[in-house]
Structure 1
Amino acid sequence: MKLVFKFFCLFFIAVCVQNCSSNTSNNNEDGLDPSLYYEALNVSYGNEDRQKFDLYLPANRSLNTKTVILVHGGGWISGDKSDMNAIKDLIRIDFPNHAIVNVNYRYANEKNKPYPMQTDDITSVINHLKSNSSNYTISDNFGFIGASAGAHLSLLWSYALDTDKNIDMVCSIVGPTNLTDPEYLNNSNEDLQELLDMFGEFPETSYLEEASPLHQVTTDAPPSILFYGGKDPLIPTSQGIDLKNKLADLNVVHEFTLYENEAHGWEGLALIDTWLKLKAFMQTHLN
């Protein structure tokens, strides 16, 4: 479930990114100066090669500075944090006072299921950020933006594992929400089934429910914004619509957009619409 973002490349974006990158930086992680911009790539949060993230800390930050965590897609078996760089650049332009963490996580395979291995990785990232919040000079409040499989992991962690209520908002861009959906259990798409088999060829229903955001969401879930394509070959519209309806039933703050003529990712006016809606949502819930 790899989602490739082709963000609109306007001249002013290139200029703004250049300006962001020109900030004075402090690359000495011992005793970081919060008045200076700080960037660290491939920060380790575990012992394995995939357990790394990129960190971007704004200048003039404080212990009230919130962090946006980006989680890439790739069907739980591929993808890379670099796939989220376009979103990272937009956040640096429109939210210059936010910290950003762009995460890699371990790939699933026949011996290692996506859940709980990959949500364990997110837990490790959150724990690292919280234990280093004084050095980084950031708050313990975070928001998620996930794409495809990364959206599934972002939703699941926010709904089922955020025991300290550190997540202020979560965004799902074409993320799977319900592994027990009949559209999945009875599908005839070989490529899709190969990905779903990462959760086991004959997984128990209880396990699939435990790994499904739809079955884990409660009344105290964080504000959620959802984007889906009506012609997505990998994510049936029921995945987004059913979660939207569940959030409404639970009175959880949410927004939902279905682009009827889009598939697993989009560009042009639909993509501009996505960013404008997400930007407004973040301004309300992650400021």
Structure 2
Amino acid sequence: MKRLIFISIFFLSISTYLSCSSDQTDDGNIAPINTNASYEELNVSYGDDSDQVFDLYLPANRTMDTKTIILVHGGGWTSGDKADMNEIKDFIKDQLPNYAVVNINYRLADADNPPYPMQINDITSVVNHLKANQSDYTISNDLGFIGTSAGAHLSLLYSYAFDSDSNVDMVASIVGPTNFTDPAYLNNTDPLLQILLSSYGIDASTSFLEEVSPYHRATLTSPPTILFYGGQDPLIPTTQGTAMRDQLEDLGVTHQFTLYPTEGHGWDGLNLLDTTIKLQTFIETHL
């Protein structure tokens, strides 16, 4: 499948940080990490597969109240890499320097490995790893998610349906699918869109399509949600965003929705600036 391309987000300011290598004690535990300095560790393993790794960025002067933002890349569930989220990671480190950042890879779907529940299980494993090492990392259990495209779908689905301990305080969807029962998907005749949907099986039962749709998994207690969509997106119909907005409104869930009528599956310029300003404000307010 062709990789879904989310327009790269470039930021002028890139934070400076102290890069450290990880150390372990003789018993295999993480060695104490200096909380006064920033800390970076790349490709931290959270499973046996080579794709089950994440990059960890801890801010200086952190405490047990420090909150973590988890980044989830797109790629149609079958491709993509955490490097695709580096510009967003740099933006957070520069503009939101008191937050920890976890930029994750997850196992990619193929003919023998369907995306669900595999990729949700991977996100759960990342969250469990952070909890298990909370004291060593000096972070709280409070989490936020930012996902793009398929990663936005995974971020919403985990936050709405699988966050059993209610650790997620906010979630951001940038052009993420939300409802696989949308007629715009089920009745489409677009070959590219059909390839995207085949990752989850267009002939799947309605009950399964609802199970993997954040639109159908949202509840009264879903975390505050911010949504960004493009009106000319060839892969994500506008109704994926507007229906999710309306569902959150009906449930009384705190949310914010932005539609850029002339944009596609990503954007730059003034609309990108608008996205970053709104996203930063939303994070500072709810996480």
| Smaller-chain TM-score bracket | over 0.9
Aligned CA distance change for structure 1 residues 56 and 24 (closer, same or farther; 3 Å)? closer
* Aligned residue in 1 for 2:160: 159
Matched position secondary structure for 2:199: helix
- The CA deviation at 1:165 is 0.3
Aligned CA distance change for structure 1 residues 24 and 46 (closer, same or farther; 3 Å)? closer
Per-residue CA deviations over 1:215-272 (Å, capped at 9, x if unaligned) read 0000000000000000000000000000000000011000000000000000111001
2:264 matched to 1:266? no
* Aligned residue in 1 for 2:6: 4
Mapping for residues 1-287 of structure 1, pairs under 5 Å: 2-10=4-12, 13-14=13-14, 17=15, 20-21=16-17, 23=18, 25=20, 27-28=22-23, 29-286=30-287
Contact 1:3 1:147 in 2 (8 A): no
Matched position secondary structure for 2:78: coil
Q: Percent identity?
A: 58
Contact 1:8 1:272 in 2 (8 A): no
Q: Distance in 1 between matches of 2:36 and 2:21?
A: 9
Q: Distance in 2 between matches of 1:217 and 1:186?
A: 24
- The CA deviation at 1:26 is 6.6
Aligned CA distance change for structure 1 residues 112 and 260 (closer, same or farther; 3 Å)? same
Aligned CA distance change for structure 1 residues 239 and 120 (closer, same or farther; 3 Å)? same
Q: Distance in 1 between matches of 2:212 and 2:19?
A: 43
Aligned CA distance change for structure 1 residues 42 and 225 (closer, same or farther; 3 Å)? same
Matched position secondary structure for 1:168: strand
Per-residue CA deviations over 1:195-227 (Å, capped at 9, x if unaligned) read 211112521111110000000000000000000
Name structure 2 gaps, 5 residues minimum. Answer: 24-29
Equivalent residue letter for 1:194: I
Matched position secondary structure for 2:171: strand
Aligned CA distance change for structure 1 residues 24 and 47 (closer, same or farther; 3 Å)? closer
Matched position secondary structure for 1:240: helix
Q: Distance in 2 between matches of 1:209 and 1:8?
A: 35
Equivalent residue letter for 1:2: L
Aligned CA distance change for structure 1 residues 9 and 251 (closer, same or farther; 3 Å)? closer
- The CA deviation at 1:31 is 1.2
Q: Which runs of 4+ in 1 moved over 2 A?
A: 1-10, 23-29
Contact 1:5 1:83 in 2 (8 A): no
Equivalent residue letter for 2:9: F
Contact 2:75 2:150 in 1 (8 A): yes
TM-score, normalisation: structure 2:
0.94
Contact 1:34 1:137 in 2 (8 A): yes
Q: Distance in 2 between matches of 1:58 and 1:3?
A: 30
Equivalent residue letter for 1:263: G
TM-score, normalisation: structure 1:
0.94
- The CA deviation at 1:191 is 1.5
- The CA deviation at 1:8 is 4.3
What is the number of equivalent residue pairs in this alignment?
A: 279
Matched position secondary structure for 1:154: helix
Aligned-residue Cα RMSD (Å) equals: 1.3
Bigger proportion of residues as helix:
1
Name structure 1 gaps, 5 residues minimum. Answer: none
Q: Distance in 1 between matches of 2:166 and 2:264?
A: 33
Aligned CA distance change for structure 1 residues 59 and 246 (closer, same or farther; 3 Å)? same
- The CA deviation at 1:9 is 4.3
Contact 2:11 2:87 in 1 (8 A): no
Equivalent residue letter for 1:137: T
